[in-house]
Structure 1
Amino acid sequence: MLILRATEPLTPGHGTKTATTLALGLYTAYNIAATVASIPAGRPADRLGARGPLLVLTAGVAAFAASYGLFAVSSTAVAVLAIPFVLAGVGIGAVETAQHSAVAVLAPKDLCGSAFGLLATVQSLGNLAASAVAGILWTAFSPSAAFAYLRVWMLLALSGLALTARR
């Protein structure tokens, strides 16, 4: 969805081939940001005890919420489009690190394997549902509607993480 989101507004000004190349470059920036964020995201998860993974997860989800909010607004400027790509990369780098760290810290030791399996199941089902609904919203309404929907889920996740952190 990210590549398509960048390609559509860039095509009228750059043509299909150049817009696609620029979008792929932006996706590369996403992957670089994810790579760069992953190891630093693991440090507080390790050093802050059981709350560490929740704090890192919260930061990652906040980055996604900001990214999706920016993706909901269309732009034809590559530099402006780079911001939500990089934010999403930082988000995925933090979230993937923190999810696994949280399971390792919070799950009972005798259920750790099952907890990782449950995490993978929830991720798969969540990705399927989010992609299906976002795809329908994109097609029926607009890309902005799809990203607004995804942003709402990130804001709900932030609320849930805030409640969890208080306990």
Structure 2
Amino acid sequence: TAVATGAIGLCVATWQVGLLRAFAWTSRGMRSPARDSLLASLAPSHAYGRAFGLERAGDNLGAVVGPLLAAGLVVWVGIRPAMYFAFVPGALAAVTISIAAREARRHHSSLVPRKLRLELGAMRQAGVVRALLPIALFELGNVASTLLILRATQLLHNGATTLALATMLAILLYSGHNAFGAVVAYLGGHWLDRSSARVVFATGAGLYLLAYLGFSLNLHSPVALLVAFALAGSGIGLAETAESTLFARLLPDHLRGSGYGVLGATQAVGDLTSSAVVGVLY
């Protein structure tokens, strides 16, 4: 992911950017299940919620700090050099994960190599199919954040704000979405360790539904749109943390890699389907 993102600064054609972005997201699809499986292996069972809440909080904070840092780098060194800098945090993340993986192997030194298989039968017996049904329904309604930014931009622009100012405000409001997501994911992790993952997930889905209701109205006020973004960020923060925690509780260690892979595939297919359908209808 780090190499592909940094290499975008070397591109001279649009197709090259598209190819590298596809490679980066493919790498992310491989990385995310491994990360979640590793985290579940390292965290004690009574702290799964806090572990995944902290991870989601860090991811959302990165989505707040990253664009602001990128904007500063673009002003300071230019667009292409700023893209090269994107390699640095990715490389540091790879080193950190390698250290964590070594620690996990030390704690599970008795593990023996297993054949590469998806273990669908074992996961079904563990209750994964039943858990995936509400998750799939939620992801089918989880449209890309860019569509929410587009909706906010149009609402602000129609409210007698210039297009440039409306776009800037919408992006700033989206930063609020990620900030609320970080805080609520962290708090939700503590809640998960004291409650059912299904209750936390349902609460997150309800907040997300309220956010969509807000975006469906003709809200031209930045404050009202901030509330809608905050509800969306809070909803996704609770839902994603609950999903990862639920799978950690359902699956034994040797099934978690396959389980988180299936979870990631369900999320990706749902997000792609919902975003494509809403994009066409919009």
Q: TM-score, normalised by structure 2?
A: 0.46
2:260 is aligned with 1:116: yes
2:177 is aligned with 1:37: no
Instruction: Decide which structure has the larger Cα Rg and report it.
Output: 2
1:69-122: CA deviation from partner (whole Å, max 9, x where unpaired) = 111112111111111100001011111111100110123444222111110000
Any stretches of 5+ residues in structure 2 without a counterpart?
Answer: 1-146
Structure with higher helix content: 1
Count of matched residue pairs: 135
SS of the aligned residue for 1:28 comes to helix
Partners in 1 of 2:252 and 2:281 — Cα distance? 39
Partners in 1 of 2:212 and 2:157 — Cα distance? 21
Counterpart in 1 of 2:278?
134
1:17-42: CA deviation from partner (whole Å, max 9, x where unpaired) = 11011101110110110011011101
**Do the aligned residues in 2 keep the contact of 1:7 with 1:23 (CA within 8 Å)?**
yes
Partners in 2 of 1:44 and 1:25 — Cα distance? 29
One-letter code of the match for 1:81? L
Partners in 1 of 2:194 and 2:184 — Cα distance? 16
Partners in 2 of 1:54 and 1:19 — Cα distance? 38
One-letter code of the match for 2:187? P
2:115 is aligned with 1:7: no
Q: TM-score, normalised by structure 1?
A: 0.77
Q: CA RMSD in A?
A: 1.1
**Do the aligned residues in 2 keep the contact of 1:44 with 1:53 (CA within 8 Å)?**
no
SS of the aligned residue for 1:14 comes to coil
Comparing 85-94 with 3-12, greater Cα deviation is found at 3-12
